[in-house]
Amino acid sequence: MPGVFRQVETASLVVPLVISFGKPFTIGLGRDPDTSETFCSFTSGLYTGPVFIRSSGLAECVQVNFTPLGAWRFFGIPMSELAGRMVTLDDLADRDMTELRTRLADLQDPAARLDLVEAFVADRINRSTLSDGGMEAAYEILVDRKGRLRVGRLADHLDISRKHLADRFRVTVGLPPKAVARIVRFGHAQALAREGESWADVAAACGYADQAHLAREFLELSGSTPTAWKNAA
């Protein structure tokens, strides 16, 4: 049904690919978008802030959610080129994905569209030659530790300098380790809050100095206070 629909996506480790056949979305990073910020088919890398989305209710699309490392292999470009940006399919100038969009638009069956996208993504990632075992391990360590690991210790574990770690992390993940750890920790706080933990317990469990620190992170990464976020979830 047509109308004006608004939603806010909090900072996360998801790198979306949206291929659209209907009306565009209006999207702003970190703020309410203006009317010129419209996107049909697009992707966007990691971003340490909320994403504000408006749609007319007439959108029709297929969305693939990648991990940062999966997106790196799929797109075949440094993830720093996508981080904190809205990038249209036309801007990517990727002939195979342009052809995919055309083939998807010609299909009317949603299941057939999903099958085509799934096969395309799997084939492209399987053919990728990109690999960086050190950064893959670093990313998994940050996720496993729920973001509670100092960058210096991570660099020492990998036996590389902090600068080298940050440079390589931007290529494979999109942001430096400290920013990624911040998103991971915030995601853990969200998960605990959904389970019913008190805000004081969430702050303590996630390593925030106090509830005030937690509240500031929610404002910066979700665009709302902890209570407002939970009420809207």
> What's the pLDDT tens digit per position in 32-73?
999 899 999 999 999 999 999 998 877 789 999 999 999 999
What pLDDT, on a 0 to 100 scale, did the predictor assign at position 22? 85
* Predicted local distance difference test score (pLDDT) of residue 33: 93
Contact by Cβ (8 Å): 144, 74 = no
pLDDT tens track for 62-93: 999 999 999 999 999 999 999 999 999 999 99
- How many residues make up the chain in this entry? 233
Show the 3-state SS of 37-57: CEECCEEECCCCCCEEEEECC
Three-class SS state of 11? coil
Exposed / middle / buried, residue 119 (Cβ in 10 Å: 0-12, 13-18, 19+): exposed
Distance CA 127, CA 151 (A): 32
Gap between the Cα atoms of 15 and 92, Å rounded: 15
Mean pLDDT of 91-112: 94
- The pLDDT, as a whole number, for residue 2 is 62
- Name the nearest CA neighbour of 175 among 11, 52, 8: 11
Q: For 169-205, write each residue's pLDDT tens digit.
A: 999 999 999 999 999 999 999 999 999 999 999 999 9
**Was domain 133-232 assigned CATH 3.40.50.620?**
no
The residues near 118 (Cβ < 8 Å, ≥ 6 apart) are none
CATH 1.10.10.60 boundaries in the chain:
133-232
Strands (E), the chain: 5-9, 15-20, 25-29, 38-39, 42-44, 51-55, 61-66, 86-88
Q: What is the pTM of this model?
A: 0.94
Q: Which pLDDT band holds residue 1 (cuts at 50, 70, 90)?
A: low
Q: What is the pLDDT of residue 3?
A: 63
Q: Count CB neighbours of 152 within 10 A.
A: 11
The DSSP bridge pattern shows strands 38-39 and 25-29 to be antiparallel
Average pLDDT, the chain: 95
Summarised one tens digit per residue, pLDDT across range 122-153 is 999 999 999 999 999 999 999 999 999 999 99
Residue pair 88/42 in contact (Cβ under 8 Å)? The answer is yes
Distance CA 82, CA 219 (A): 23
**Token pair recorded at residue 33:** 């978008």
Strand order in the sheet with 38-39: 5-9, 51-55, 25-29, 38-39
